Structure 1
Amino acid sequence: MEFFLMTDTEEARPTQNWEDIGRALADVMSGGTEFVVLSKGEFGDDYIQTSMWNSGVILRPSYVTEISISTEHGARHYRMKTKDFNTIYSAFRAYFDGWDPVVTKWDDVTDEFE
């Protein structure tokens, strides 16, 4: 599977290197990058993306992550908001390793995309 990595400062580019993805995610956490998108294929409907939801001026920073998973009945879209960046990192790692992240604790937002 060929993955494509894109950020607000970089056009989509192919990558098979987890270190590149990890650096991009670290940039979101530090505020150096606004968002990261990792897709399966250059124009794939399957992707995972994250961005800072609030910068934590008063409280800790919060992040929002969305995933789109193609099924035989069309794409399903899920969203998670969290202050725990390790949860996001783990979801990206699972996606990169070929497993769909466990979305049972994510909000199903498919209707927003129809």
Structure 2
Amino acid sequence: MAIMKSVELKGLLLTCTVAAVLGALVAAIVYFSPLKETTLAPLVNLVLIIAVFVGGSYVAKTRGSRGLIGGITLGIMFFVVMFVLTLIFSPSLPGFKSFLQHLCICLIAGGLGGIFGIGLSS
């Protein structure tokens, strides 16, 4: 059981790393290109999808079984970490629509990444 948790923690670390790197890349692209800041929200959602998908794939590939559960678990863990960081660093509370949207993105991307990761494990 301890091995399973360490795999999920490694997946969470991978997800956070991918999100940070892609977030910095998107910020640099928006800053240095003629793109408007209104395109930032869809790009942030894309970064979230890619990061959670990669983490879910890693967890499912490493486990070799129960990819959907592993991916959804990773999505929930990443959402909780990001929500706590938002509450710590943001002076205002996030809106309910945004909360549900990001929760659904994390669950769906994690589940799909988990399913994809099972295909990679064999």
* TM-score (norm. length: structure 2): 0.28
Higher helix share: 2
Structure with greater strand percent: 1
Higher RCO (Cα < 8 Å, 6 or more apart): 2
**TM-score scaled by length of structure 1:** 0.29
